[in-house]
Amino acid sequence: MRDPDGLTARAGVRGDPDRDQHFLVDDRVLDRLPTYLQEIDADTDHVLEIGGGTGALTDRLLAMGDEGKVTVVERDRELAEFLREEFADEIAAGNLTVIEGDALEVDLPEFTASLSNLPYGVSSEITFRLLPEGRPLVLMFQREFAERMVAEPGTSEYGRLSVSTQHYAAPEIVETIPKEAFSPPPAVESAVVRLEPRDPDYEVGDEEFFLRFVKALFTQRRKTIRNAIRNTAHITGLEAPEAVVEAADEELLRKRADAMAPAEFAALAELAAEVGEPNEARAQ
């Protein structure tokens, strides 16, 4: 395996906190990361890595199997060029593709799984670009963010992120990472989350409306659901929020958003879509 410090030296770069660049340099952590896909027998024929950096994780992904392919998306021009030079043989053999560009803007390839040390500043946006693809993901986040992803109803960490994440996948924190594993060390601890795709145990007719409805109610998390529905028509786009309140179960209306399970959000969103006259043009 390539030495992380050697890669950084050959690249001639240093991580830049102002640009959200923190290179993972702990060999032990790097060696463990691929095992989190292997433990669930994930298909690793084509692994997508967001934010290749100097290639320390890329090197481990390439070693996962002789037949597997890896695609790396790297937005930094110098780092993308370094990856092309450092892994020229792997690229020539057809095992590696380097895409230079922003992971939120480039066309992502078909992939079977993703293992990535995400730029923390855009980790949410990237995650919710990947989750709808329905592929196994092993992603690194700020620890606080990761804890919100896996949170259960009734806890202080439970929120919109919890419901939205668990709509697509079963999330699990598989490892916490100390600051010292990175160069330069970030200001916070990190955590690795494994997300196994799953179908939720409820149905929603309009996924976009469901996610918008969840977002709206959590903007009023200290209010009862009754008042949250009334106060967020500008977000949900509901023309008739009062009709939803009149039709909903009284016990549910007395709850707050952080006490509602995802299935309860789904049922209420379906009711809102049926009687609340949602108007896409009205939603903000």
Residue ranges and CATH numbers for the domains of the chain are: 4-197 (3.40.50.150), 207-282 (no CATH)
- Residue range 224-246: average pLDDT? 97
pLDDT number for residue 271: 98
The answer on pLDDT for 242 being more than 70 is yes
Which residues make up each annotated binding site? 22, 24, 51, 74, 102, 117
pTM score of the predicted model = 0.94
Residues in the chain: 284
Distance between CA atoms of 280 and 282, rounded to whole angstroms?
5
Phi-psi region of 56 (alpha: psi -120 to 50; beta: other; left: phi over 0): alpha
Q: Which two tokens stand for residue 63?
A: 């070693």
Which residues make up each annotated binding site for S-adenosyl-L-methionine? 22, 24, 51, 74, 102, 117
- Residue range 202-230: average pLDDT? 96
Tell me the pLDDT tens digit for each residue of 170-201. Answer: 999 999 999 999 999 999 999 999 999 999 99
Q: Name the band, by pLDDT with cuts 50, 70 and 90, for residue 120.
A: confident
Q: Which helix (H) or strand (E) holds 237?
A: none
Distance between CA atoms of 124 and 130, rounded to whole angstroms?
10
